[in-house]
Amino acid sequence: MMQQVNLGLIGGGTVGGAVFAALSERADLLTARLGLRLSVVSMAVRDASRPRAFEIPASLLAKDWKAVVHNPNVHVVVELMGGTTTAREAVLAALQHGKPVVTANKALLSAHGEELFAAARANLANLYYEASVAGGIPIIKILRESLVGNRTLALRGIVNGTCNYILTRMKLEGADFADVLADAQRLGFAEADPSLDVDGHDAAHKTGILASLAHGFWVRPEQVHVEGIRHVSRIDIQMAERLGYTIKLLGVVKNMAARAGKGRRSKAGILVAVYPALVRNDHVLASVNHAFNAVAVRGDMVGETLFYGRGAGGNPTASSVLSDLADAALDLRHDSHERVPAFVPHARGKTHVVPMAEAVSRYYVRLTVMDRPGVFARVASVLGAAKIGISSIFQPEGHEGEAVPVILMLHDASHAVLQKAMARIARLPAVRGIPTVLRVEDTEGA
Ligand code: NAP
Ligand code: HSE
């Protein structure tokens, strides 16, 4: 019976460093709980001469990732380097050697998940990825194991800590986007390339993983509609607040069949999307602040569930890596393969991803218009021709000048119809710049 499981880490940055430190600080606790010892026997980093926040004996530092993966003394490979090229090579090589892999790399899973899970199956080596979505929240385990008896009707999540941190500080402090992003980078929340965060791609990687788990077929990255938060300005956050809403970047997996059942025209299928949306202030997601994440899942048996916690940063993410390491070690000890299969193809062919064009929503629109008579009438006439109803329209005071903001709240319209109408409105002579369009999330709907 295996008494010690040897780990090889690739990456010793924010997450890798926290994992290494936690494994040494909590060695006795983990041994007592697992009945075996987790021991780091090798770690690869890019630049071994860089000063680190944790102490590591030089003898543990490997020349490169290959020295970790091919080390016969390494039982489990832990990929915490990020990126999709070298990381793919390293993870594939480990799986092909029959070694289980733990990763926090959602970009890698999004781009190459199908290939990696196939390699894991073919080589009877498990691939664990709890830390890839929502940092310290065990949402992978929840969808894969705890809710296994449920059909997922809807899932909405705040799954990018950096964007939530930026939007929160813009709302609470009136802070500037660029300053807050710099703070998020300093605190270790942001990706090495922070455009992955602010342009919505990181949230899209995570939402695709959650959609695949929830619906049992592989959702390809190009099937996930992605909008980031760069176009959300302080005035939008203030106007949303005045209307009783908070703007959040949401990852959304909606069952469109259920929407059709409510008398709307969408076809059956699921929508998988990331977009900034107005969430009613009395909905729990509106009060998820700073780098916290939350995922609301509605199952057909369990009803509404909500999972909340720190979505980024060294320790919360390391907590999820430790959970995977415990599973990997126990699976190795009990020679267990595919204990709970990662992506069960139960729904292949039964459902599909619906194009964003068909998604129906209410909208918040901010126009910048010349302050002259007749402008509202022209805007209303374009919307009327597109059969889009206006629920309210107002021009906030304090913006006197040639060009002023006008806020419109619109009734349900499909993305395609709304886009066409906005293109026409943007061409009106009195309208300046590109309209800002944000969805109003119907959290009671599917
Ligand atoms: P990070 O701080 O930039 O650390 C990356 C580590 O990988 C560094 O130690 C770096 O070495 C090492 N590395 C880079 N290229 C390498 C190579 N070719 N060979 C060997 N080592 C290499 O990144 P992080 O924030 O820890 O993120 C790591 C992974 O976790 C990413 O996939 C990220 O998306 C994911 N993740 C991060 C968070 C978070 O809050 N930070 C949360 C969840 C998931 P040097 O130290 O020498 O540069
Ligand atoms: N950059 C990511 C975020 C890290 O801000 O959520 C956690 O996955």
The Cα–Cα gap between 418 and 360 comes to: 9
Q: How confident is the model at residue 224 (pLDDT cuts 50, 70, 90)?
A: very high
Residue 164 Cβ contacting ligand 2 at under 6 Å: no
Nearest to 72 by CA among 94, 51, 48: 94
Distances (CA, A) of 376 to 370, 383, 425: 10, 11, 11
Q: How confident is the model at residue 87 (pLDDT cuts 50, 70, 90)?
A: very high
pLDDT, residue 255, reads 86
pLDDT in tens, 234-250: 999 999 999 999 999 99
* Residue nearest atom 8 in ligand 1 by C-alpha distance: 13
pLDDT, residue 268, reads 75
Maximum Cα–Cα distance across the chain: 83
Contact of 147 with 299, CB cutoff 8 Å: yes
DSSP 281: T
With vertex at residue 211, the alpha carbon angle to CA 297 and CA 360, rounded to the nearest 5 degrees, is: 80
With vertex at residue 51, the alpha carbon angle to CA 46 and CA 55, rounded to the nearest 5 degrees, is: 100
pLDDT, residue 444, reads 78
51-55, 78-82, 92-96, 395-399: least confidently modelled range: 395-399
Contact of 216 with 346, CB cutoff 8 Å: yes
Residue 361 Cβ contacting ligand 1 at under 6 Å: no
Residue 252 Cβ contacting ligand 1 at under 6 Å: no
The residue written with tokens 């319209």 in the block is: 413
pLDDT, residue 256, reads 82
Contact of 375 with 402, CB cutoff 8 Å: no
CA 78–ligand 1 middle distance (angstroms): 11
The whole-chain average pLDDT of the chain stands at 93
pLDDT, residue 347, reads 56
* Residues forming a β-bridge with 440: 278, 362
Number of H helices, E strands in the chain: 15, 15
The Cα–Cα gap between 242 and 222 comes to: 35
CA 90–ligand 2 middle distance (angstroms): 22
Percent of the chain with pLDDT over 90: 87
Ligand 2 atom showing the smallest separation from residue 184 Cα: 5
The Cα–Cα gap between 6 and 1 comes to: 14
Residue 162 Cβ contacting ligand 1 at under 6 Å: no
CA 15–ligand 2 middle distance (angstroms): 11
* Residues forming a β-bridge with 353: 270
The pLDDT of 137-150, averaged and rounded, is 94
The pLDDT of 126-150, averaged and rounded, is 95
pLDDT, residue 260, reads 45
Q: Which residues contact 223 (CB under 8 A, 6 or more apart)?
A: 208, 272, 353
pLDDT in tens, 415-439: 999 999 999 999 999 999 999 999 9
99 classed as catalytic: no
* Residue nearest atom 7 in ligand 2 by C-alpha distance: 312
> Looking at per-residue confidence, does 374 or 19 come out higher?
19
* Residue nearest atom 1 in ligand 2 by C-alpha distance: 190
Q: Does residue 82 carry a pLDDT above 60?
A: yes
Ligand 2 atom showing the smallest separation from residue 165 Cα: 5
The pLDDT of 299-325, averaged and rounded, is 97
Residue 137 Cβ contacting ligand 2 at under 6 Å: no
Residue 202 Cβ contacting ligand 2 at under 6 Å: yes
Out of 99, 106, 171, 206, the active site residue is: 206
pLDDT, residue 259, reads 46
DSSP 337: -
Strands of the sheet with 127-128, listed across from one edge: 37-44, 4-10, 76-79, 101-103, 127-128
Give the count of beta carbons closer than 10 Å to the beta carbon of residue 280: 16
Residue 162 Cβ contacting ligand 2 at under 6 Å: yes
CA 191–ligand 2 middle distance (angstroms): 6
The pLDDT of 388-413, averaged and rounded, is 90
Contact of 408 with 365, CB cutoff 8 Å: yes
DSSP 2: -
What kind and span of H or E run contains 111?
A: helix 106-122
- Let me know how long the chain is: 446
CA 213–ligand 1 middle distance (angstroms): 25
Q: Does residue 387 carry a pLDDT above 50?
A: yes
Contact of 270 with 299, CB cutoff 8 Å: no
pLDDT in tens, 164-205: 999 999 999 999 999 999 999 999 999 999 999 999 999 999
The pLDDT of 362-374, averaged and rounded, is 94
Q: Ligand nearest 9 Cα, by number?
A: 1
The pLDDT of 384-399, averaged and rounded, is 91
CA 207–ligand 2 middle distance (angstroms): 13
The Cα–Cα gap between 124 and 270 comes to: 31
The Cα–Cα gap between 197 and 200 comes to: 5
pLDDT, residue 343, reads 60
The pLDDT of 259-274, averaged and rounded, is 68
The Cα–Cα gap between 223 and 230 comes to: 22
pLDDT in tens, 316-348: 999 999 999 999 999 999 999 877 666 655 555
